[in-house]
Amino acid sequence: MLREIDMRASYLEEKTVESIYFGGGTPSILEAKEIDQLIGQIAKHFDISSNAEITLEANPDDLDKKKVQELRTTPINRFSIGIQSFYEEDLRWMNRAHNSEEALSSIMRVQDAGFENITCDLIYGYPLLSDSKWKFNMQQLIDLQVPHISSYSMTVEKKTALDHMINKGKTPALNEEQSAEQMLMLIDTLTGAGYEHYEISNFAKPGQHARHNSNYWMGKSYLGIGPSAHSFNGTSRSWNIANNARYINGIQTKELPLETENLSLNDRFNEYVMTTLRTKWGINQQYVKNEFGADYLNSMLRNIEIYVDNNEVNISEEGIITLNPSGKLIADQIASELFIVE
């Protein structure tokens, strides 16, 4: 990964780094000195902003007292903790490595060490999760004063253990109605507790938006390092091979183990629609007209009429298109209807 940073530094024209994110897989297994090495290597090629957001994804079971104290010596200033649930039986059903006690203690341990900028993940919409359990999970994070919460509906990937159990009748199938109801509960509960619902799956206290994720949704460029990592520079997208051995061999032989796709105007428009519609900032009609042309704007306005009529989409006086609560339940469907397909 250190070598790849050297090899790929020229991919980004912008040399000021506003955020660094250690994520995907389990980066909390990295030692403090390895984190320092990676950040130091980035600093050789880029200007890391003095107030850069530097996030580490972590499993609760990795965050013991010794680990947290080690991380205090690094530039890490934000944690993303994969809580998912505070119920033991739910965590076992999800096949998570941590238990309910670790879910709670990991947050408190990080806070006690002086880390205030924390985000936690919760999952909803699965058979074991009653509405009362869902309320309890949310309230735990509210009571702990976690400033940022990401929450996702359970999905079933093909050929996974959960997919196998559902097909064999060993566990109930997921229920879309339950998922929709619990998402609305999520919005009501967290906005009522002072969180801003600024992206479909993300809620933040004032001034606590995830800068890194917001940059994705705003279409800013980024460089991804490591197996499976994706990169984007505004006009092209690239992705590294997922196979660890082939990734390492590619770096050692100085042949970048990646594929690159140059984005057409349609691709760029579709990505803009898909990402911005998910946010509180929404789609800017003037930007669409300036960046893509009047034909794109007119096509989008024609296709969105039905959702405006159904009160699923709102268009402000300034021409900003955002989702209403009912529209947030079908965000992907609405976005796909606005896409330009070649």
- 75-96 pLDDT, tens digit per residue, is 999 999 999 999 999 999 988 8
Nearest to 228 by CA among 215, 237, 217, 239: 239
- Residues (pLDDT < 50) of the chain are none
Q: 317 lies in a domain?
A: yes
Same domain, 100 and 206: yes
Same domain, 254 and 329: no
Same domain, 133 and 236: no
Same domain, 140 and 235: no
Same domain, 200 and 86: yes
pLDDT the model gives residue 29: 87
Same domain, 38 and 167: yes
Total number of domains constituting the chain: 3
13 CB burial (10 A radius; 0-12, 13-18, 19+): exposed
- 196-233 pLDDT, tens digit per residue, is 999 999 999 999 999 999 999 988 999 999 999 999 99
Q: What count of other Cβ atoms lies within 10 Å of the Cβ of residue 76?
A: 21
Check if the beta carbon of residue 227 is closer than 8 Å to that of residue 240.
yes
Length of the chain: 342
Instruction: Find the CATH number of the domain harbouring 327.
Output: 1.10.10.920
Same domain, 101 and 157: yes
Q: 198 lies in a domain?
A: yes
Q: Tokens 């460089």: give the residue.
A: 223
Predicted structure pTM score: 0.93
Residues of the domain holding 247:
226-262
Same domain, 320 and 233: no
Q: 129 lies in a domain?
A: yes
pLDDT the model gives residue 225: 96
Which among 182, 216, 250 is the end of a domain?
216
- State the distance between the two ends of the chain, measured CA to CA, in whole angstroms: 37
What is the spatial distance between Cα 107 and Cα 116, in angstroms, rounded to a whole number?
A: 10
Same domain, 94 and 243: no
Same domain, 10 and 154: yes
Same domain, 209 and 197: yes
Instruction: Find the CATH number of the domain harbouring 62.
Output: 3.30.750.200
Same domain, 210 and 309: no
What is the spatial distance between Cα 54 and Cα 132, in angstroms, rounded to a whole number?
A: 35
Q: 221 lies in a domain?
A: no
